[in-house]
Amino acid sequence: MSSPADKETTKPSNFLRQIIEHDLAAGTYAGRRWAGRPGDATVQASGGPDPARIRTRFPPEPNGYLHIGHAKSICINFGLARDYGGVCHMRFDDTNPEKEDTEYVHSILDAVQWLGFGWEAHGTRHLFQASDYFDFMYRAAEYLIEAGHAYVDEQTAEAMRLARGDFGKPGVDSPFRTRTPAENLARFREMRDGQHEDGSMVLRAKIDMASPNINLRDPAIYRIRRATHHNTGDKWCIYPMYTFAHPIEDALEQITHSLCTLEFEDQRPFYDWLLERLSETTTLPDGRVVGGLLQSPPPRQYEFARLNLTYVITSKRKLAQLVYDGKVSGWDDPRMPTIVGLRRRGYTPEAIQLFAERIGVTKSDSWIDYSTLEGCLRETLDVTAPRAMAVLEPVKLVITNWAEVMESSGQAAAGHGAGFLDACSAPVHPHLPELGRRTFTFGKELWIERTDYEEVPPKGYNRLYPGNKVRLKYGHVIECTGAVKDAAGTVTEVHATLVPDTKSGTPGADAIKVKGVITWVGAADALPAEVRLYDRLFTDAQPDAGGKDFIESLNSDSLKVVTAYVEPSLAAAKPDDKFQFERHGYFVADRVDHVAGQKPVFNRVTGLRDSWGK
């Protein structure tokens, strides 16, 4: 019997679960109110108790297609919300006006849904965009100025950089740091009203220029940037910095656990500083009490290790370079680690979710072996994928005694044996008899793999060579008699004779023992198909580590296209249908180019076994 404690140790480690379970037990967020939409303290206070026990969010910038690293983040954020009676918000972090595109917005929503997650809960669509909060962010900035926590700095960018100091050297206060709140407010409003040039001044938080954490040395929180924003158009010529915007987005949405990757660890003190300032109240010199803009308790940020996967690049910018330089056919090229690429390659949402769970969530950076991802895929496909036979590198096999054997066994009338087709069948799936059987024919001419014949067999070779017997899977036993070659010495036909009374599934079929079993398709009913044999995109396991130029390790053999012959059951394959081609691995009907029954195109998803180490 396994106790709950045993179960805990076999579960992949996920320290975030402990944090959430602690918060739930302690009731950290139990008193929160939720107005049914993002909003400041007043808005939220008008709502009832939050029906969500926790709130997480997935906040991509809509500046590219999501990749396997994002999939990890999606599975963590949506998965934890699902597991703990919470809600995960889908939020576009679109505060940077220059880089966004609605093409990316659609692809991101698609990817999240395809992975099996959604943002509808309690009758509400939790789909938000950060740019909707610009008004509040502006108000928060004015509050910080009034309360003496922010100032407008007119130093040049270069002077500001020098005054920031570095790891071993404290920063130096800006000459503009001592301006009065009234002066700062006037200046900030001029910035907003377009009275100053781009880059001529910034609003900075006033914290501590000597802080050991450089992120607390008066970070910039608003900048002037004349750019048309895809959502707010030309309404603003000042935009909040990411480090200022993100905590506010979380707080307005009542996020409880804000989960991000480790590179944001140094930002956490500012995250906390800002949200504390915006929740507290301040009594101004004139006696007015201001502030209390955000509800308490504030969200908390927790960092986890980003996913690094061997042989894979997870940077939108670098993936974009592969697309724009034509190194791949597009964002959905089956060799790309984008979600659209993985999907087209034949990956399933189940496999990706299993992968995310298996690698766990930790706080230390590490590299995950690509074979772990493929292993998850094999595991999920093996239990469901229909089987089929396919010959990827075909050479013809001629059964030279076919007519005689068929006629003498009475299966075909004298003189008609050569064209006789013997019906064979095989289970669609060896462990799912309810899926029924697939049928195909055996005849005088068949297709087999070119590598299944050797004139002079290497040691241990059990397949076709003169004098050797093998079983054609689901068919008959044959004995190889030789081969025909062309002038160049290339084998054009392999010849064999059929051993009578050996058909699979008939009494006595196993009387003759053979060591080799090979796959085949019948020349009479096999279908030609384009098969795309994909391999790893990079030859280097860490293509971009340490500033390496990843273009240099592109694998020039990452795609081989062959014309294969596949068994007739595949005529019914629809785009995205996945199969195990016996002996070869898993294949998917290409979702873009495959046309059922007319133009079969299959992608190799992965082989049957792990070949990454080899």
Contact footprint for Mg ion (CB under 5 A): 61
Q: Is 82 a catalytic residue?
A: no
Q: Is 55 a catalytic residue?
A: no
Give the residue with the Cβ less far from ligand ATP, 18 or 315.
315
Pattern of binders to ligand ATP over 7-46, x per CB under 6 A?
Answer: ----------------------------------------
∠ CA 571-397-597, rounded to 5°: 10
Give the residue with the Cβ less far from ligand ATP, 321 or 425.
321
Contact between 198 and 191 under an 8 Å Cβ cutoff? The reply is no
The C-alpha atoms of residue 134 and residue 214 are separated, in whole angstroms, by: 26
Contacting residues for 161 by C-beta, under 8 A, at least 6 apart: none
Cross-sheet strand order for the sheet of 491-498: 516-518, 469-472, 477-485, 491-498, 394-399, 445-449, 521-522
72: partner contacted, choices ligand ATP, Mg ion, none (Cβ within 5-8 A by kind): ligand ATP
CB of 93 to Mg ion, least distance (A): 8
129: partner contacted, choices ligand ATP, Mg ion, none (Cβ within 5-8 A by kind): none
261: partner contacted, choices ligand ATP, Mg ion, none (Cβ within 5-8 A by kind): ligand ATP
- Work out the burial of residue 263: count CB atoms within 10 Å of its CB; fewer than 13 is exposed, 13-18 middle, 19 or more buried: exposed
How many residues sit in the footprint of ligand ATP (CB under 6 A)?
Answer: 14
Rounded to 5, what percent of the chain is helix, strand, coil?
30, 25, 45
Stretch touching ligand ATP by CB under 6 A, among 20-28, 67-75, 341-349, 447-455: 67-75
CB of 225 to ligand ATP, least distance (A): 19
Contacting residues for 21 by C-beta, under 8 A, at least 6 apart: 84
Stretch touching ligand ATP by CB under 6 A, among 30-38, 42-50, 64-72, 532-540: 64-72
In 241-320 the beta strands, taken as DSSP E runs, fall at: 257-261, 281-283, 289-291, 300-304, 308-309
CB of 207 to ligand ATP, least distance (A): 24
CB of 358 to ligand ATP, least distance (A): 15
CB of 57 to ligand ATP, least distance (A): 9
Residue nearest to ligand ATP (CB): 69
Q: Is 306 a catalytic residue?
A: yes
Catalytic residue among 300, 316, 343, 463: 316
The C-alpha atoms of residue 331 and residue 322 are separated, in whole angstroms, by: 9
Give the residue with the Cβ less far from ligand ATP, 92 or 442.
92
CB of 608 to ligand ATP, least distance (A): 28
Stretch touching ligand ATP by CB under 6 A, among 66-74, 504-512, 517-525, 537-545: 66-74
Give the residue with the Cβ less far from ligand ATP, 70 or 463.
70
Phi, psi of 184 (to 5 degrees): -60, -40
The C-alpha atoms of residue 590 and residue 576 are separated, in whole angstroms, by: 6
The C-alpha atoms of residue 20 and residue 77 are separated, in whole angstroms, by: 12
Give the residue with the Cβ less far from Mg ion, 260 or 406.
260
- SS3 of 359, please? helix
CB of 611 to ligand ATP, least distance (A): 25
Residues in 315-344 that interact with ligand ATP by CB under 6 A: 315-316
Distance of CA 27 to the CA centre of its chain: 34
Stretch touching ligand ATP by CB under 6 A, among 43-51, 56-64, 336-344, 581-589: 56-64
Residues in 245-264 that interact with ligand ATP by CB under 6 A: 260-261
Give the residue with the Cβ less far from ligand ATP, 242 or 461.
242
Pattern of binders to ligand ATP over 285-314, x per CB under 6 A?
Answer: ---------------------xx------x
Contact between 294 and 41 under an 8 Å Cβ cutoff? The reply is yes
CB of 338 to ligand ATP, least distance (A): 10
Residue nearest to Mg ion (CB): 61
Distance of CA 315 to the CA centre of its chain: 12
- Of 301, 252, 231, the residue nearest 273 (C-alpha): 301
Pattern of binders to ligand ATP over 514-533, x per CB under 6 A?
Answer: --------------------
Catalytic residue among 33, 139, 306, 450: 306
Give the residue with the Cβ less far from Mg ion, 94 or 374.
94
Contact between 13 and 361 under an 8 Å Cβ cutoff? The reply is yes
Residue carrying structure tokens 């019948």: 522
The C-alpha atoms of residue 67 and residue 65 are separated, in whole angstroms, by: 7
Residues in 69-88 that interact with ligand ATP by CB under 6 A: 69-70, 72-73
Pairing mode, strands 578-581 and 387-388: parallel
> What is the per-residue DSSP string for 483-535?
EEE-TTS-EEEEEEEEPTT--TTSTTGGGS--SEEE--EETTT-EEEEEEEE-
Catalytic residue among 33, 53, 61, 350: 61
Catalytically active residues, by annotation: 61, 306, 316
Interface with ligand ATP (CB under 6 A)? 59-61, 69-70, 72-73, 260-261, 306-307, 314-316
